[in-house]
Amino acid sequence: MIVIVDYGMGNLRSVQKALQRVGGEACVSDRPEDVARAERLVVPGVGAFGDAMRALEERGLVEPIREFVRRGRPVLGICLGLQIFFEESEETGAAAARGLALFKGRVVRFGDAVVRQGLKVPHMGWNAVEPVRPSSLFAGMSEGGVYFYFAHSYYAEPADETVVVGRTEYGIRFASVVARENVAATQFHPEKSQAAGLALLENFVTRF
């Protein structure tokens, strides 16, 4: 069973339907015991980093997610889910919010370098993801880049470049897919990305 973590901040049903469409048996839950019993875990999210971490803590889900990872089971973060997999975010201002720390690094906002090029923040719409390292998530996809749907104002700056498996150009080149061992995350929304998104989710279900 794939458990989609419900902390009140994601397109949960869209993710569930997409996973079911590629053959995954998926349920939505905010119960720590369901997380503990899952075979695979998906952590989606839309909204603010600090709010997401508070919601996870209030539901008692922080340690169950970390324990799930420690046990070597596959987990996928989506959009805000990717961001909270990092150590901290500048989104809350001077007092950086702390994340799950599954990856080392921090989350920062698109800055002047993007705006000076006439690009809007948030970054919304279709954009290419270029694979930069081999990953089972990209199995069967074009090596030259695949288009996915984005909606975000912040992006991750990994401390360890070896976790970056996909990058996207939006004024700067940022890490749009990260993965290490049993943990992966995408800044884009695969559940909104039509055939390419379904292919990536199927790879997570069957190969990752």
* 125-166 per-position pLDDT tens digit: 999 999 999 999 999 998 778 999 999 999 999 999 999 999
Residues 87, 88, 91, 191: which is the catalytic one? 191
Point out the catalytic residue in the list 79, 88, 91, 123: 79
Confidence of residue 23 (pLDDT cuts 50, 70, 90): very high
Q: What is the pLDDT of residue 145?
A: 84
Show the DSSP H helices in the chain as ranges.
12-21, 32-37, 49-58, 62-70, 80-84, 112-115, 194-206
Q: What is the pTM of this model?
A: 0.96
Q: 83-128: per-residue pLDDT in tens?
A: 999 999 998 765 567 999 999 999 999 999 899 999 999 999 999 9
Q: Among the options 123, 152, 189, 202, which is catalytic?
A: 189
Name every residue whose Cβ is closer than 8 Å to that of residue 112 and which is 6 or more positions away in sequence: none
What pLDDT, on the 0 to 100 scale, is given for residue 95?
A: 56
**Percent of the chain at pLDDT above 70?**
98
**For residue 171, which amino acid is it?**
G
pLDDT band of residue 10 (cuts 50, 70, 90) is confident
* Residue 96 confidence (pLDDT): 63
pLDDT for position 89:
94
Whether 27 is catalytic? no
123 assigned to active site: no
Amino acid 206 reads T
Strands (E), the chain: 2-5, 26-29, 40-43, 75-78, 88-89, 97-98, 105-109, 123-131, 146-152, 154-158, 164-170, 172-180, 183-186
Q: Which residues pair with 170 in a beta bridge?
A: 172
Rounded to whole angstroms, how far apart are CA atoms 63 and 32? 9
CATH number for the region 2-206 comes to: 3.40.50.880
What's residue 162's pLDDT?
97
For residues 78 and 15, the answer to whether their CB atoms sit within 8 Å is yes
